[in-house]
A and B are shown apart, each in its own frame.
Chain A
């Protein structure tokens, strides 16, 4: 369990508000003209990223970029599917820092640039299956989380990794007002062996460019064999812990969302079936056909071994 201490200082608290506000004004001023010409939700500041081809990529047709940018669950920007594209432009993603702590030999707060410096970016084309019953195929750009983990040297007692999303109500409208659907910060977690699995990446881009805000800029997790909500967005904090952490959705409704949340067509969500999914953009418009959902989202050959002997019905 991640115990929050009273003297916790978040990275964004270290930067004085006046400073980052000032920077934001500069940025918005600079991009205002460019933004006028952009489609809604299309990030003005996207820059091209160099990446070599990585392993595990599927050759299935990729989901249209416009759909991936406009159909999002990112409750910090609102609970509607189109809220993130409409609201995420206000998020300042530079400067960005990630605090890495807990049971590690080298705890540190990294500026994003320093975190990325030793990383070799790869393109990984993965299936993404949302717990709601839809799926996409997305060409991510990122690097294995395992690389970062080995750099910070987890202690022998570290068994789990926890992640937290940014809390910044003045830039994230879903974190303001009366109807806040979740308890912030959004928290996720993986078992250490899941985190170190070669399929698990930290992504900084997609479709050859830096991540749009609504897709979790500037740094997000991608765990392709688990339901999409495990792939936490806009990470500001990573911690190594001994006990299995409580995740946001698990705390929200533990009988519906478990810690593991592996894609599993045989274990239904209590309120809906997980046997099939609608692949976004497949078929034409209203005639979208359902397709069978694959065990571990089709990554069973790679990850089934992680759960050998485990009852996946009990550990949903």
Chain B
């Protein structure tokens, strides 16, 4: 049962009109105490990071579902014949890892030093596009060997996993491009920082996801 302490009077009002306006807000001192709507740049950064972490969960679930389908399908019947991975995948992997390093460089510059980091973002962007081009070449190489998406369950999964990852990576490229534009054009530095931060973390996630997918298709060989 609720009991209340410190006595204060309650204003009388007519029945069925109980509403009262909230008390004036405490002065905003730029710091938020405890839980509550944040107003500082740090609060906004935290909010976007929470949003990103939450938003990546369904991406994870998508790939978890693909993985379980993969495992189930591999165990079914005897029609599974593994494909030989195109060697260019290794180079693509190195390109992607490098792009994470450059993205991180930009993120730190935008964060601590409040510099723009635009150059590093540009390099990341180019590396990202390089990775996508490399994946396309890998597909072409498979196709040249006559291995298409419907050729075999293992090739189905190869195209499915790399394709879905690529589609998500395109989103990352767009985010990086947006961040690069944001660093060039006048945006408040704290907003710029958020954009770069979120785009970079997303990029790192895509990087890890690629390593996971690579492991998955490699093990199936």
Partners in one complex: no
Which residues of A approach B to under 8 Å, CB–CB? Answer: none
Which residues of B approach A to under 8 Å, CB–CB? Answer: none
